[in-house]
Amino acid sequence: MVKSASSEEETRTRARTRRVILDAAVDVLAENRAAPLSQVAAHAGVARSTLQRYFPERADLITALGEYSDELAQEATERARTTEGPAIDAFSRLVSEYFELRRIAMIALGGEEQAQEYDEEACGPSDLALYELVERGHEDGTIDPRVTPLWAQQLLWSSLYAGWLYVNVARVPAFEAHNMCLMSLVKALARDNRG
C-alpha cells in the first residue's frame, strides 16, 4: 500500500513535533529534573494536551528521552566520520561529538540528580590524599600539570566504574579489566615528555 502525500506529511509533522517536545524536555529537565510537564509543553510551544498525546505519562517522556539519546548518539557518530582518517583523530572527533550530548545523557542516565558541587570541606581523607598525590605529580613532573586534582578524581572513579562493568559486560577476568583500567588512567595522567 502506497502512502498518500498527506499521510507522509502528517508523519513528518508528527516526527518534527515529537523532536521539538524532546528537545524542550532536555532544556527544561536539565535545569530541573522535577519540572512539571506543563513547563516542558510551554517551552516546546505546544499545548499540554499535545504533549500528552505523544507522552501520556512522565515515565513515557523519560523513556523516550533515553531512546532519543540513542538517536542523537547515532547522529553524533555519523558527524564524527569514524571511518575517515587516522583512528586516533576519528576517536577525538567522536569524543567531541559525544561530549555535546551531556545534557540529554545526564537526564537519560539519571546523573544530574547525583551530581554535586565540589566542596573541599566535605572531602574525606582519601580525597585529600588523592589531591595531594596529583599535586606531588605536578611538582615531580610525572603527572601532566593540565590534569587538575578534581579531574583526576572524576577520571579515577569513572574509569573504575567502567572497569567493574567491563568484567560483566565483556565477561573477562577481573585482572584483565584492572589492566585496561590502569593502562587508561596512567596514559591519561602521565606527563608527555616527548616535546
pLDDT in tens, 108-138: 877 555 455 656 667 788 888 899 999 999 9
Contacts of 21 (CB under 8 A, 6+ apart): 40, 41, 44, 46, 50, 51, 54, 55, 61
Q: Which of 73, 22, 74 is nearest to 44 (CA)?
A: 22
> So what's the pLDDT on residue 138?
94
- 80 CA to centre of own chain: 16
Q: Which residues pair with 190 in a beta bridge?
A: 143
14 pLDDT more than 70: yes
Counting other chains too, the contacts that 139-144 makes at CB distance below 8 Å and 24 or more residues apart are: 141/191, 141/193, 142/190, 142/191, 143/189, 143/190, 143/191, 144/189, 144/190, 144/191, 144/192
Stretch 152-159: mean pLDDT, rounded?
Answer: 93
> So what's the pLDDT on residue 1?
57
> So what's the pLDDT on residue 120?
64
Report the range of poorest mean pLDDT among 141-145, 174-178, 191-195.
191-195
Q: Which residues pair with 143 in a beta bridge?
A: 190
- Residue 151: all three cell numbers together: 579531574
Owner of C-alpha cell 513515557: 60
> So what's the pLDDT on residue 195?
42
